């Protein structure tokens, strides 16, 4: 099959969050399975110009853009293309989850939809990710295009919401005119999210972010497909970002990484003290408020804490805590190198998220031998708790968070049992191959399914 993969970010060109990793790894896995995959992302300011291979003019109401599609080379068997306008600045920098540049993304989506049905480019399926490209399924359906569309929700909290005035300017009318993600959910042939557990949660008003009714209406066309980890890429035995490498059975390098992380974080270098890391965007979703509310108690534990991440609203508070407490370190940084050192140098990985569609960071932490301590929500309830691979707590609650950390610290100090827990974590695998197989079935028109009888989704 020929698959177009539409995304706002892809590692290493642009990465804001987990979507960047997914966009790098899933297409690669599909290509390995014999599909032709073309990946499209916006030409943000500062990205290489690439070689222009197509030009097209796109309009949405009174907004217009002259797009250039530029070849950015082959990456693991996947062809990457940036799409940007010649004389217009549509995007300055990747904002990722932030709902900005809405008009630019509508125009971008139309350009991608047009490509999907153009001679020489024609796709069997377009895989759309998050609100940025939620307009593609709606636009293709309205034009009666025959190609399949799959929409994957990586985060339901960001929907691409429009004020009426902008919807008018872009000529968007009808259902979901002012909500790009809702357009995608309503019109894609198949809708997925990144774990079964999060799928179930989003069907209830508590986690449905106002779209639970619409999601319920999609019935069995809305499914969970668990993300994987690219183990070529996240591999402590081969990771060039680390000061020393290690793997199960040869763990000396992990101690070197721990000492380096302690030094880099301004913490006392001590091999025996349990070191607990948090790596993520500093936003409410990630449980950052709970962390800050508990910071005095955390500082009182016999452990060290390292926080890695950016997010303007919270950086100040973490910086202050790191100055004040000798066992707390903070890196206001989103560089891959710092994140890798935190995974490798820590003994435990804390993920207190309020909600979590999949939660790639704890899965990556497993591979680096950092035992996850997670809140029992979304994908993490499925991958870390149900499997017994880590420790957990149920509520957005200080006492519960501290209880789970305390248990972790006790078990770490007990020694022998800890090495077993850590080795099990390092051996666990969540591969992309299984996910790729599941998506493959969704890319195929329903009419061709063995069961037959079912026409194009709805």
Q: Pick between residue 50 and residue 285 the one whose CB is nearest to ligand GLC.
A: 285
Neighbours of 257 (CB within 10 A): 26
Provide the minimum distance between the beta carbon of 131 and ligand GLC in the complex, in angstroms, as a whole number. Answer: 12
Alpha helix (H) residue ranges in 294-335: 295-300, 312-324
Provide the minimum distance between the beta carbon of 78 and ligand GLC in the complex, in angstroms, as a whole number. Answer: 18
Q: Pick between residue 360 and residue 366 the one whose CB is nearest to ligand GLC.
A: 360
DSSP sequence for 265-282? TT----SSS-EEEEES--
Scan for tokens 């609650």, then name that residue. Answer: 397
Provide the minimum distance between the beta carbon of 369 and ligand GLC in the complex, in angstroms, as a whole number. Answer: 20
Q: Pick between residue 230 and residue 356 the one whose CB is nearest to ligand GLC.
A: 356
- CA gap 126, 2 in Å, rounded: 9
Beta-bridge mates of residue 79: 38, 74
Q: Judged by CB under 6 A, does residue 22 bind ligand GLC?
A: yes
Provide the minimum distance between the beta carbon of 440 and ligand GLC in the complex, in angstroms, as a whole number. Answer: 18
Q: Judged by CB under 6 A, does residue 24 bind ligand GLC?
A: no
Provide the minimum distance between the beta carbon of 280 and ligand GLC in the complex, in angstroms, as a whole number. Answer: 9
Q: Which stretch binds ligand GLC (CB under 6 A): 15-23, 32-40, 314-322, 428-436?
A: 15-23
Q: Pick between residue 152 and residue 262 the one whose CB is nearest to ligand GLC.
A: 152
**Considering only CA atoms, which of 254, 275, 255 is closest in space to residue 265?**
275
User: Which residue's Cβ has the minimum distance to ligand GLC?
Assistant: 18
Q: Which of 110, 135, 154, 207 binds ligand GLC (CB under 6 A)?
A: 154
**Considering only CA atoms, which of 66, 78, 68 is closest in space to residue 47?**
68
Q: Pick between residue 178 and residue 224 the one whose CB is nearest to ligand GLC.
A: 224
- CA gap 447, 120 in Å, rounded: 25
Residues in contact with ligand GLC, counted by CB under 6 A, come to a total of: 14
Q: What distances in angstroms separate CA 146 from CA 100, 117, 137, 142, one per listed residue?
A: 30, 8, 11, 11
C-beta of residue 223 within 8 angstroms of C-beta of residue 256: no
* Eight-class DSSP state of 243: S
Burial letters for 75-102: b for 16+ Cβ neighbours within 10 Å, e otherwise? bbebbbbbbbbeeeebbeebebbebebb
Q: Pick between residue 193 and residue 327 the one whose CB is nearest to ligand GLC.
A: 193
Neighbours of 439 (CB within 10 A): 23
Q: Which stretch binds ligand GLC (CB under 6 A): 12-20, 119-127, 256-264, 307-315?
A: 12-20
How many residues comprise the chain?
A: 458
Beta-bridge mates of residue 2: 36
Q: Judged by CB under 6 A, does residue 184 bind ligand GLC?
A: no
Taking residues 243 to 282 in sequence order and writing x for each that binds ligand GLC by CB under 6 A, - otherwise, the string is: ----------------------------------------
Provide the minimum distance between the beta carbon of 72 and ligand GLC in the complex, in angstroms, as a whole number. Answer: 22
**Considering only CA atoms, which of 251, 254, 249 is closest in space to residue 277?**
254
- CA gap 323, 317 in Å, rounded: 10
Residues in region 330-369 near ligand GLC by CB under 6 A? 356-360
Residues in region 204-223 near ligand GLC by CB under 6 A? none
Provide the minimum distance between the beta carbon of 281 and ligand GLC in the complex, in angstroms, as a whole number. Answer: 8
Q: Which of 133, 194, 290, 365 binds ligand GLC (CB under 6 A)?
A: 194
Q: Pick between residue 74 and residue 434 the one whose CB is nearest to ligand GLC.
A: 434
Q: Which of 3, 5, 9, 17 binds ligand GLC (CB under 6 A)?
A: 17
- CA gap 56, 42 in Å, rounded: 14
Scan for tokens 């980890």, then name that residue. Answer: 229
Q: Which stretch binds ligand GLC (CB under 6 A): 14-22, 98-106, 169-177, 421-429?
A: 14-22
Q: Pick between residue 15 and residue 187 the one whose CB is nearest to ligand GLC.
A: 15
**Considering only CA atoms, which of 325, 252, 302, 326 is closest in space to residue 413?**
302
Tokens of 20: 């960047």
* Eight-class DSSP state of 194: S
Provide the minimum distance between the beta carbon of 363 and ligand GLC in the complex, in angstroms, as a whole number. Answer: 8
Q: Pick between residue 178 and residue 357 the one whose CB is nearest to ligand GLC.
A: 357
Q: Judged by CB under 6 A, does residue 19 bind ligand GLC?
A: yes
Q: Which of 192, 227, 327, 370 binds ligand GLC (CB under 6 A)?
A: 227
Angle at 83 between CA 78 and CA 89, to 5 degrees: 150
- CA gap 174, 176 in Å, rounded: 6
Q: Which of 18, 42, 160, 228 binds ligand GLC (CB under 6 A)?
A: 18
Scan for tokens 């910071």, then name that residue. Answer: 295
- CA gap 386, 381 in Å, rounded: 6
Q: Pick between residue 138 and residue 360 the one whose CB is nearest to ligand GLC.
A: 360
Q: Pick between residue 160 and residue 329 the one whose CB is nearest to ligand GLC.
A: 160
Which residues form the interface with ligand GLC (CB under 6 A)? 17-19, 22, 154-155, 194, 227, 356-360, 379
């Amino acid at each position: 099959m020929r698959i177009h993969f539409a995304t706002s970010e892809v590692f290493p060109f642009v990465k804001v969050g987990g979507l960047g990793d997914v966009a790098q790894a899933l297409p690669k896995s599909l290509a390995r399975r014999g599909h032709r995959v073309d990946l499209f992302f916006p030409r943000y300011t500062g990205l290489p110009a690439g070689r222009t291979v197509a030009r097209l003019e796109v309009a949405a109401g009174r907004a217009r853009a002259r797009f250039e599609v530029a070849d950015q080379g082959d990456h693991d068997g996947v062809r990457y293309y940036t799409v940007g306008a010649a004389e217009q600045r549509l995007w300055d920098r990747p904002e990722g989850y932030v709902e900005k540049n809405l008009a630019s993304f509508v125009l971008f989506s139309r350009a991608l939809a047009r490509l999907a049905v153009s001679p020489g480019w024609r796709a069997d399926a377009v895989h759309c990710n998050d609100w940025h490209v939620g307009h593609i399924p709606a636009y293709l359906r309205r034009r009666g295009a025959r190609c399949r569309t799959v929409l994957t929700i990586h985060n339901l909290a960001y929907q691409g919401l429009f004020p009426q005035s902008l919807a008018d300017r872009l000529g968007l009318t009808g259902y979901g005119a002012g909500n790009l993600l809702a357009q995608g959910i309503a019109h894609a042939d198949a809708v997925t999210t990144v774990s079964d557990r999060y799928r179930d949660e989003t069907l209830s008003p508590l986690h449905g972010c106002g779209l639970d009714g619409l999601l319920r209406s999609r019935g069995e066309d809305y499914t969970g497909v668990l993300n994987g980890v690219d183990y070529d890429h996240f591999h402590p035995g081969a990771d060039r970002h680390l000061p020393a490498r290690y793997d199960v059975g040869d763990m000396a390098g992990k101690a070197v990484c721990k000492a380096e992380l302690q030094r880099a974080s301004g913490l006392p270098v001590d091999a025996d003290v349990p070191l607990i890391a948090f790596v993520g965007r500093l936003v409410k979703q990630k449980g950052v408020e709970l962390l800050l509310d508990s910071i005095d108690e955390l500082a009182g534990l016999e452990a060290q804490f390292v926080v890695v991440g950016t997010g303007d609203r919270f950086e100040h508070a973490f910086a202050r805590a790191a100055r004040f407490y000798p066992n707390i370190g903070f890196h206001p940084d989103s560089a891959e190198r710092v994140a890798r050192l935190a995974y490798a140098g820590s003994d435990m990985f804390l993920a207190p998220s309020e909600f979590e569609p999949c939660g790639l960071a704890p899965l990556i932490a497993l591979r680096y031998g950092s035992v996850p301590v997670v809140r029992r929500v979304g994908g993490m309830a499925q991958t870390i708790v149900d499997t017994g691979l880590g420790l957990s707590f149920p509520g957005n609650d200080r006492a519960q968070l501290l209880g789970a950390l305390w248990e972790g610290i006790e078990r770490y100090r007990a020694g022998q049992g800890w090495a077993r827990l850590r080795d099990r974590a390092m051996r666990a695998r969540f591969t992309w191959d299984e996910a790729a197989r599941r998506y493959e079935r969704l890319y195929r028109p329903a009419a061709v399914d063995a069961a037959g009888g079912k026409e194009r989704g709805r």
